[in-house]
């Protein structure tokens, strides 16, 4: 437990996702049991009192890896010398709010945070955007931080990935560990495409394709996809709050894979810049792809055959992302 502590920023740090996330990070679930940390917690000024309570609780956990906790409402403090930035905070959608208004409010936030990353963070910083609309927020942050490589920015679609994995496992009565290589293509929205054409499942010690194992194509092409696409809304309907525990777990999975790499023979889903992809997705979109990660660097999984059913779904979500991007870029010039 010697060694330099790494600096990890969590924004929206007084919110409910962060409340589930901070303990996992601080106790070593993400960066390993040997890696000391400085946690930087950013939120808006009205949340500072609540944030003090979170700091007290982190102190009261008495965690050996946690060297320092820095609560702040100032970007120049929050973004200084960061190794990792987890951008959870965003403007939530209020009732009666048009998606366009939501985009406008978030462009302002992520333009500002992107500029702060550019100015204060290490150039090697890894940036993970969780706050919705996550893909477009991530693209705006990246465009606002020209001195940080585009590849260092990713957005969270691991929650959707985990939801897909778990639905398959439940259907087959296996554990989610027995299911691998599901894919989420596209936007973290209800147009995302959960694809199990390339997924494998371990049934009684034998690895088989998911389509072969489930033997119910109409479920896989229908209810399965809808369940994953609409799961966030289902949780809100039941809990009257959005997914927090599962979102925090997915963030941990996403960041741990960036840090330590993906297991051999497995790939994961994350929203990354589409430049140079071989799947016909337009350039300069922040789109969820299957990736493998090694030495903290992701690469597209290449050469997966795409059938017509998949092609249509992949194009639909790309179209939505292109429209979001165009709206956001208009706002960017005026923000």
Mean predicted lDDT score pLDDT of the chain: 96
pLDDT band (50, 70, 90) for residue 92 = confident
Annotation-wise, does 131 bind a ligand? yes
- Identify whether the C-beta of residue 184 lies closer than 8 Å to the C-beta of residue 269: yes
Annotation-wise, does 43 bind a ligand? yes
Q: Which helix (H) or strand (E) holds 304?
A: none
- Identify whether the C-beta of residue 86 lies closer than 8 Å to the C-beta of residue 26: no
Across 73-93, average pLDDT: 96
**Could you report the per-residue pLDDT of 287-306, keeping only the tens digit for each?**
999 999 999 999 999 999 99
Q: How high is the pLDDT of residue 269?
A: 98
Percent of the chain with pLDDT over 70: 99
DSSP state of 230: T
Q: How high is the pLDDT of residue 1?
A: 57
Q: How high is the pLDDT of residue 96?
A: 77
Angle at 324 (CA atoms; ends 319, 326), nearest 5 degrees: 95
**Could you report the per-residue pLDDT of 143-201, keeping only the tens digit for each?**
999 999 999 999 999 999 999 999 999 999 999 999 999 999 999 999 999 999 999 99
Q: How high is the pLDDT of residue 2?
A: 63
Is residue 251 exposed (0-12), middle (13-18) or buried (19+ Cβ within 10 Å)?
Answer: buried
pTM of the model: 0.97
Residue 132 structure tokens: 């919705």
Give the catalytic positions in this structure.
Answer: 188
User: Quick check: 66 pLDDT over 90?
Assistant: yes
- What does the alpha-carbon distance between residue 139 and residue 159 come to, in Å, rounded to a whole number? 19
Annotation-wise, does 202 bind a ligand? no
* Range name among 94-103, 121-130, 237-246 with the lowest pLDDT average: 94-103
What is the signed CA dihedral for 322, 326, 328, 333, rounded to 10 degrees?
150
**Could you report the per-residue pLDDT of 277-290, keeping only the tens digit for each?**
999 999 999 999 99
Across 88-99, average pLDDT: 84
Helix 245-260 and helix 16-26, axial crossing angle in degrees, nearest 10 = 40
- Identify whether the C-beta of residue 232 lies closer than 8 Å to the C-beta of residue 267: no
Q: How high is the pLDDT of residue 21?
A: 98
**Could you report the per-residue pLDDT of 196-230, keeping only the tens digit for each?**
999 999 999 999 999 999 999 999 999 999 999 99
pLDDT band (50, 70, 90) for residue 335 = low
pLDDT band (50, 70, 90) for residue 93 = confident
Annotation-wise, does 222 bind a ligand? no
Annotation-wise, does 67 bind a ligand? no
- Identify whether the C-beta of residue 217 lies closer than 8 Å to the C-beta of residue 307: no
Q: Select from 2, 6, 8, 5 the least CA-distant residue to 22.
A: 8
Q: How high is the pLDDT of residue 330?
A: 92
- What does the alpha-carbon distance between residue 14 and residue 142 come to, in Å, rounded to a whole number? 24
């Amino acid at each position: 437990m010697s060694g330099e502590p790494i600096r990890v920023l969590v924004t929206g740090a007084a919110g409910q996702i962060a409340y589930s996330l901070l303990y996992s990070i601080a106790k070593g679930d993400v960066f390993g049991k040997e890696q000391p940390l400085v946690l930087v917690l950013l939120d808006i000024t009205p949340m500072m009192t609540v944030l003090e309570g979170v700091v007290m609780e982190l102190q009261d956990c008495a965690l050996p890896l946690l060297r320092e906790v820095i609560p702040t409402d100032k970007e120049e403090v929050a973004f200084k010398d960061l190794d990792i930035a987890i951008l959870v905070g965003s403007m939530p959608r209020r009732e009666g709010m048009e998606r366009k208004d939501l985009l406008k409010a978030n462009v302002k936030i992520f333009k500002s945070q992107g500029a702060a990353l550019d100015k204060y963070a290490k150039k090697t910083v890894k940036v993970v955007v969780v706050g919705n609309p996550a893909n477009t927020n991530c693209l705006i942050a990246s465009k606002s931080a020209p001195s940080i490589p585009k590849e260092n920015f990713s957005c969270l679609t691991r929650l959707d990935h985990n939801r897909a994995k778990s639905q398959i496992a439940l259907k087959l009565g296996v554990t989610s560990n027995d299911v691998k290589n599901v894919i989420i293509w596209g936007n973290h929205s209800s147009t995302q495409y959960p694809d199990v054409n390339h997924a494998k499942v371990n049934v009684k010690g034998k690895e088989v394709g998911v389509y072969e194992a489930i033997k119910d194509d109409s479920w896989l092409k229908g209810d399965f996809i809808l369940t994953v696409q609409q799961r966030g809304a289902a949780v809100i309907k039941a809990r009257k709050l959005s997914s927090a525990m599962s979102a925090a777990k997915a963030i941990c999975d996403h960041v741990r894979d960036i840090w330590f790499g993906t297991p051999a023979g497995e790939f994961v889903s994350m929203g990354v810049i589409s430049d140079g992809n071989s799947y016909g997705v337009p350039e300069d979109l922040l789109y969820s792809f299957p990736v493998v990660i090694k030495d903290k660097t992701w690469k597209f999984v290449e050469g997966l055959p795409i059938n017509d059913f998949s092609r249509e779904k992949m194009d639909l979500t790309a179209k939505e992302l292109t429209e979001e991007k165009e709206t956001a870029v208009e706002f960017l010039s005026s923000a």
